Structure 1
Amino acid sequence: MNTYKGKLNKIREEKRITQSELAVAAGVPQPYISRFDKSEQHNIKNLFAVANALNLKIDELFEPVETPESK
């Protein structure tokens, strides 16, 4: 089974956008942005909103994590 972790903080830093700015652009609560990378479950509506605000595909918001089972 593949495991993924969020990489929104990394993307935000590259695009030089704050959590608050992204929250406004995506129309989601700022705490959602703050917890994004630590969360294991996401609201699909919020995922689309964040990805659209950053001009990305949803899968670009995550990166695979190697686990013993995935080797």
Structure 2
Amino acid sequence: MKLNATPRLHAVMKNKGWTQVRLAEASGVPQGSISRFDKNSRHEDWHVFSIAKALEVEVDELFEITTEEDAE
């Protein structure tokens, strides 16, 4: 089984009414990194945890997790 994690930070921010600037100030993550979060496939660990803590969400809420069965 393979897990796919698709970033969904901007949807979470929209639901909470947060801007990129507000999140950058609250999390310490540069605004440019927040801007590119949903486009990137790799994320700095501290960015993910800092963003989740600032938004008061669980880390997995920042991603849409899907599974694929491995082809044999």
Normalising TM by the smaller chain, what interval? Answer: 0.7 to 0.9
Runs of 4+ more than 4 Å apart: none
Q: CA RMSD in A?
A: 1.3
Q: Relative to total residues, which structure has the larger strand share, 1 or 2?
A: 2
| Alignment deviations for residues 2-38 of structure 1 (CA, whole Å, 9 cap, x no partner) | 2111111101111111011101100110011001111
Query: Which secondary structure does the structure 2 equivalent of 1:42 belong to?
Result: coil
TM-score (norm: length of structure 1): 0.87
In the alignment, the residues of structure 1 paired with residue 66 and residue 11 of structure 2 have an alpha-carbon distance, to the nearest angstrom, of 15
In the alignment, the residues of structure 2 paired with residue 54 and residue 18 of structure 1 have an alpha-carbon distance, to the nearest angstrom, of 11
- For 1:4, the aligned partner's letter is A
Q: Relative to total residues, which structure has the larger helix share, 1 or 2?
A: 1
Number of matched pairs: 68
In the alignment, the residues of structure 2 paired with residue 54 and residue 27 of structure 1 have an alpha-carbon distance, to the nearest angstrom, of 12
TM-score (norm: length of structure 2): 0.86
In the alignment, the residues of structure 1 paired with residue 65 and residue 57 of structure 2 have an alpha-carbon distance, to the nearest angstrom, of 17
Contact preservation (8 Å) 1:5, 1:38: no
